[in-house]
Amino acid sequence: MSTKHYSSRQQGFTLIELMIVILLMSIILGISIPNYRAYTLRAGRSDATSALMRIAAAQERFYLQNGTYAGNAALALDPPNGLGFTNSKSGHSYYDLQIAADAGGLTIGYSASATVDAAGKQRDDPDCNSMSINQNGQRGANGGFIPAAVEKCWR
């Protein structure tokens, strides 16, 4: 009579091992996805800061040629009659751009602002929904000049 010997070696994974792997993966994803979203929002803010810095430089050129700063109507016009910002949008179209005259008029100063486009990628950024710069280079965020907010939005 022959007896068959079966090895007691297991093949495959047990349910507990699979559950541990799933638990570890969910913890890793739970940490990494919010961090990634915060990173992409912070990176998207550079679209506004670069657009505002370009406006400031274009405004200085415009002022040298015309003796006054450009108003909001000249934002989308090509130079030398305007600043050359197509559709009054930032480079990636995440922000809407506007120029407001200083209280003393455009011969005295301006304030350029970049506000989050409601249909754009940055619409979920509650910390920095608007940024601004004026003729003196003073930077603002969320309608004010609070240093902590400015530092967070303009870094």
pLDDT at residue 94 in the model: 93
For 15-154, the fitting CATH number among 3.40.50, 1.20.58, 3.30.700, 1.10.357 is 3.30.700
- Rounded to the nearest angstrom, the gap between the alpha carbon of residue 69 and the centroid of all alpha carbons in its chain is 26
| pLDDT tens digits for range 50-73 | 999 999 999 999 999 999 999 999
* For residues 107-134, average pLDDT: 92
Structure tokens at 103: 């209280």
Tell me, yes or no, if the pTM score tops 0.85: no
For residue 47, pLDDT over 90 is answered with yes
> Strand locations in the chain, DSSP E?
95-101, 110-116, 130-134, 139-141
Query: Where residue 9 falls among pLDDT bands split at 50, 70, 90?
Result: low
Confidence of residue 120 (pLDDT cuts 50, 70, 90): confident
% of the chain at pLDDT higher than 90: 63
- Phi/psi of residue 82, nearest 5 degrees: -160, -165
Q: For residues 121 and 116, what is the distance between their CA atoms, to the nearest angstrom? A: 9
Q: What is the pLDDT of residue 3?
A: 63
Provide the total of helices (H) and of strands (E) in the chain, helices listed first. Answer: 2, 4
Read off the tokens for 122.
């940055």
pLDDT at 99 exceeding the cut of 90 = yes
